[in-house]
Structure 1
Amino acid sequence: METTFCLQRRQINVLPAPSITDLRDQWQYLFTQKGLYAHFELLTEVNILRALEMSMEECGRIIAEFFSNKPSNADVRAVLSRRSDIELFFFVIQLLMAHFSETQEGLILFANASSTPADVERTHALPATPRLILLGICIQQWMISFEGQIICAGIQPSFLSGLAAVFAIFYTLNVFNEYQAEAACTLEFIQRRFIGINPEKGTKGGRVLSKRTGKVPQKKKTVNTRVASLLKKLVDFEWDFI
């Protein structure tokens, strides 16, 4: 996959954009958990799963403590009231989405633990934009949907590994300038705080063709104001927390 990386990028970037079915037929390994991680690292020089794990160890507890001390709205208070044995990272993402007034369904869907990809496609109205699909309340497995179909099934039964893979999809398939509106703030927060990709500070953001329009989207020159505000508040809180 490393040897053929340039060929993969050429096919992904071609216009008109290839269908997901064609890409999966040509590059089956790319649409696996390990393939997505590897392609993302070659593209960005970031080991995405390690970056998420380190960020969670560094600031996950601080984010949870911040919202516990300063719940920003009723949705955040509702998430805080429901916490029991929820995995920390899942809890943090729920808090972020509540803070930004974004619905969980904008990024995450749930299905029965025994569901197959065909079952999920048949029983769910899968949107065109990427979604992480968690199987079972205890996250026994996860899948990723894109363009209305299941394109990847994970091998690690953890929320963090699934989130890493679904985030990699945005960069691997050139849709990182087009985060879905339903989860745009949360995804940008993940990009900047957890993954450490800040386009305005360098070239990692890139200028790529939009799969949706066939044009080069305008590069974001500033951080979303709501994301920037939360980042600043967290920095201030972290000093007090330490």
Structure 2
Amino acid sequence: MSDSGRTFLDVAIMEALPELQVVNKNILEEHLQSIGVETYDDLRFVTEADLMTVLRPVQARKLLSVWKQKYQTPENSSLSSVEASPTQLLSSLSVSPQSSSSTSSSSLGLDTQWEDNFEIPWSKFPEEVMDSLERGKRPGPKLRRQMVRIVVTEMMEKCPHVGYHSLVKQLQNRIENVRRTSTPKIRKRKHQADDSDHTDEIPLEERAAMQDTYGCIKWNVKFLPREETQESQHQKKEKLKEMFQQSDANPEEVKCLMKSTFYTQRQHVNQGKSIKSLREEWPFWFDELGMSVHFKELTGIDLKETFTRNLDLKGKRLLNYMTTVYVTKSNKFLQTYARLQRMRGQQSGCSDDVKEMVLLLLSYFDEKEESMFFHVEDTCLAEEVQLEQVPLTPAVIVCGQSCYSSTRYMLSLDRNLINTNISSFISALCLMFGSYFCFNIHYPSELASTLEFLQRCFFSINPEKGTKVENKNSKRRLNLNPRVLTLIQDLSDHEWR
């Protein structure tokens, strides 16, 4: 890549850490942007603590040492201030003596009056933009981003040192900040069908939030299978409802019917139907058998099979690291581990190891158990569960004092009990996780790290871009959670010791 095509952060990082892997470099660059680094001058204010989630201590010190020598000289500071914004540049020129201002403007090739004479390049906008504006309609997000790029390109022709990368980012972020809402996706889904902001002209994938399509390969099926009609889909849906009432329904037939009606299932959930409505129309979808079929079509991943396979490969290593290494680094984690050991008692086996692994992961990431598990009495009936106290997001109802002593579980979505008789912890965990993808639910920020770690390491879903974490504020989310990356790296190091 030529220097002209590289960002200043890319250059600054690779000058100090040329051996850094590309994936780690990209994560570091995104992290620096997320904490507010926009110019070379900002590098002066980065501390070692800012880097500890993405770099190892020696790497962080080495990086800061190089930056301290290279980017804190008066020459570099003035250069970075020139890059910061055109407003600052013009202000500094205006207060200088006339001769100095002329010389500077001449040497930099700047038109000091460009902001007064600048005209919007209407002729360069796409036809779709002009058509929307002529009809008095607001262009969609994608078209607005194109408008921003065209305008900034035109500005650069007038003033080459306008700071293209920084300004584009600021303009784009401003548009996205205005569009953001603090309403969690799980609430918004119920009202999505009522959105009348010209969504009929925008394809479904473009209207969908990034978190909805994240990790999916068939999120929106555009056409019915060739051999299917709307009527045949309806008939199969009704047959599935009848079979759900039977105790001896043929599992293979259920799988076949669920797979052949996948198109209609996606249409219903993407149209914003409530969980209660979906549960009534597609009861098998909330059962282990039906969800496994839908999840496989949606993501290409076998839900439970993938989890158990990765559990065999990585489970013991993760537990060993947690209980022999990390337990010595955190007193709070040590206390949690001791409490879990008392609750577990003499019980052993794969299922109890999985329970301990998940509970320790929650403690490692400092995330609350009650955001994922809700405890009731072991004899509690479905109608006795106090749903108003259960989280809105997918939650496992544990029938018993602890996960270790429980032999029965339920699953709640949107405070609706959608499965009231789950016999194993692993099945409950897989149903809970699969629900996030099947029903367009975003990871709650309270469980962001634990769910992403399970997603990447045990369910083998590793998108290169995006995130499934809800966006409650304007804070930018990284493609890969730094805390998750740190644990993955520590586990890798632990394996080779």
TM-score range, shorter chain: 0.7 to 0.9
Of 80-89 and 31-40, more deviation after overlay is shown by 80-89
Question: 1:128, CA displacement in angstroms?
Answer: 1.1
Could you tell me which amino acid in structure 2 is paired with residue 194 of structure 1?
F
Residues 159-208 of structure 1: per-residue CA shift (max 9 Å, x gap): 11110010000010011xx211221110000000011101117xxx799x
Could you tell me which amino acid in structure 2 is paired with residue 94 of structure 1?
L
Q: Which residue of 1 aligns with 2:265?
A: 8
Could you tell me which amino acid in structure 1 is paired with residue 367 of structure 2?
E
Could you tell me which amino acid in structure 2 is paired with residue 167 of structure 1?
F
Question: 1:75, CA displacement in angstroms?
Answer: 3.0
Alignment partners' CA distance in 1, 2:418 and 2:438? 13
Alignment partners' CA distance in 1, 2:391 and 2:488? 29
> Please, which of 288, 296, 303 is the counterpart of residue 41 of structure 1?
296
Q: Which residue of 1 aligns with 2:411?
A: 144
Could you tell me which amino acid in structure 1 is paired with residue 417 of structure 2?
I
Q: Which residue of 1 aligns with 2:92?
A: none
Q: Which residue of 2 aligns with 1:21?
A: 276
Q: Which residue of 1 aligns with 2:227?
A: none
CA pair 224-206 structure 1, distance change in 2 beyond 3 A? closer
More helix per residue: 2
Alignment partners' CA distance in 1, 2:281 and 2:467? 25
Unaligned runs of 5+ in 1: 214-218
Could you tell me which amino acid in structure 1 is paired with residue 447 of structure 2?
A
Q: 1:160 aligned to 2:417?
A: no
In the TM superposition, what are the counterparts of 1:54-69 in structure 2 within 5 Å? 54-69=309-324
Q: Determine if contact 1:133/1:143 at 8 Å carries over to the other structure.
A: yes
Identity of aligned residues (%): 28
Q: 1:237 aligned to 2:494?
A: yes
Q: 1:117 aligned to 2:382?
A: yes
Could you tell me which amino acid in structure 2 is paired with residue 39 of structure 1?
H
- Considering Cα pairs closer than 8 Å and 6+ residues apart, tell me whether 1 or 2 has the greater RCO: 1
Q: Determine if contact 2:374/2:390 at 8 Å carries over to the other structure.
A: no
Give the secondary-structure state (helix, strand or coil) at the position aligned to 1:150.
strand
Q: 1:134 aligned to 2:416?
A: no
Alignment partners' CA distance in 1, 2:373 and 2:391? 11
RMSD: 2.4
Q: 1:182 aligned to 2:446?
A: yes
In the TM superposition, what are the counterparts of 1:72-83 in structure 2 within 5 Å? 72-81=329-338, 82-83=340-341
Q: 1:192 aligned to 2:451?
A: no
Q: Structure 1 residue runs of 4+, over 6 Å off?
A: none
Give the secondary-structure state (helix, strand or coil) at the position aligned to 2:455.
helix
More strand per residue: 1
Q: Which residue of 1 aligns with 2:436?
A: 170
Residues 134-165 of structure 1: per-residue CA shift (max 9 Å, x gap): 2124221111111122112344x221111001
Give the secondary-structure state (helix, strand or coil) at the position aligned to 2:419.
strand
